[in-house]
């Protein structure tokens, strides 16, 4: 994730290109989940949609508060209230490796 003050300057694309070099060298795909804000960058960089997940923020906020209570952590007790009725849409995406053809000597 690129800090908001530095977004839209090509930093994310350069970071992805570094990951592509490694993944392509190993011929492995890259899987990720994309927020709405990053979706256009990922599609421009060759990622394809696999499906959508809807994340229930209120449910997970309640679970965090519950887990903190179990661990005796003084966390954010109002977290569940803060996220009441909210959810996010995340796109699951993949970029398949680019395999460069090797020249065959005659």
Q: How many other C-beta atoms are found inside a 10 Å radius of the C-beta of residue 79?
A: 17
CATH number of 4-95: 3.40.630.30
pLDDT in tens, 74-104: 888 888 899 999 999 899 999 999 887 665 5
C-alpha 33/C-alpha 95 separation (Å) is 12
Sheet containing 30-34: order of strands: 30-34, 87-95, 48-56
**Are 96 and 57 spatial neighbours (Cβ–Cβ below 8 Å)?**
no
Residues 34-43: tens digit of each pLDDT: 988 889 999 9
C-alpha gyration radius of the chain = 19
Q: What is the pTM of this model?
A: 0.68
Given this model, what pLDDT does residue 75 score?
81
Backbone angles phi, psi at 76, to 5 degrees: -100, 95
């Amino acid at each position: 994730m690129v800090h908001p003050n530095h977004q839209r300057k090509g930093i994310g694309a350069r970071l992805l290109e570094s990951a592509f070099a490694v993944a392509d060298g190993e011929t492995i795909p890259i899987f990720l989940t994309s927020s709405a804000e990053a979706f256009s960058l990922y599609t421009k960089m060759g990622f394809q949609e696999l499906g959508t997940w809807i994340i229930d923020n209120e449910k997970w906020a309640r679970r965090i508060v519950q887990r903190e209570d179990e661990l005796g952590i003084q966390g954010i007790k109002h977290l569940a209230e803060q996220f009441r009725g909210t959810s996010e849409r995340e796109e699951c995406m993949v970029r398949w490796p680019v395999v460069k053809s090797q020249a065959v000597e005659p």
